[in-house]
Amino acid sequence: MYSGKTRVFEQVDKKMSEYISKKLNVGVEEAKKIQKNYFYKYNTTLNGMIKNYGIDASEFLNFVHDIDLSFLKNDKALEVELSKIRDKKIIFTNGPKTHAENVTKKIGIDKLFDGIFDIVDSDFVPKPDIKAYKKLIDKYKIEPQYCILIEDIARNLKPAYELGMKTVWIKNDEPWA
């Protein structure tokens, strides 16, 4: 929805380290190591924190997504291009619905989506776990062979492809992509 060059994920990343540091009473550098380890091992930092520390998922999500979006601007070009797609458009995110809503409103594309399937909808099972994709399919009565999943994290494409979806990777230079 927005360029990887924005400060959105940078802020969320910092807030995750801050949350872990406070919750586990460790320094910020140690918290960053834990955060990155959990992201790669459990597909999201949240999933690792739930499995290892039983944290309150809502508390974590609210804290890490309480960020400044004032720099995001209305993206008329994106709005025009998305408007050309007449088929159903659903946001599938490992973040919370409120974050997706805040971002889409800020860039002016919030009215163009038919739904948002977030980490709560997937019962905190994150992409790329195939169970999350199956829950998405069930909730929206999707026929995978008629879908296209557009992603910025390559590993999240494999389950969609295995379920019969077409996939598009929006490549970026981030190490997690």
Domain definitions of the chain by residue range: 8-64, 76-169
Is 8-64's fold the same as 76-169's? no
Q: Which CATH class is domain 76-169?
A: alpha beta
What is the chain's mean pLDDT, rounded? 93
What pLDDT was estimated at residue 6? Answer: 62
What pLDDT was estimated at residue 16? Answer: 97
Q: What is Dmax (Cα atoms) for the chain?
A: 50
What percentage of the chain reaches a pLDDT higher than 70?
A: 94
Residue 177 scores a pLDDT above 70: no
pTM: 0.89
pLDDT tier at 158 (50, 70, 90 boundaries)? Answer: very high
Burial class (CB in 10 A: 0-12, 13-18, 19+), 163: middle
Residue 96 scores a pLDDT above 90: yes
Which architecture, in CATH terms, is 8-64? Orthogonal Bundle (1.10)
List the Cα angle 34/35/37 in 5-degree steps: 65
pLDDT tens track for 45-81: 999 999 999 999 999 999 999 999 999 999 999 999 9
CB atoms within 10 A of CB 92: 21
pLDDT tier at 12 (50, 70, 90 boundaries)? Answer: very high
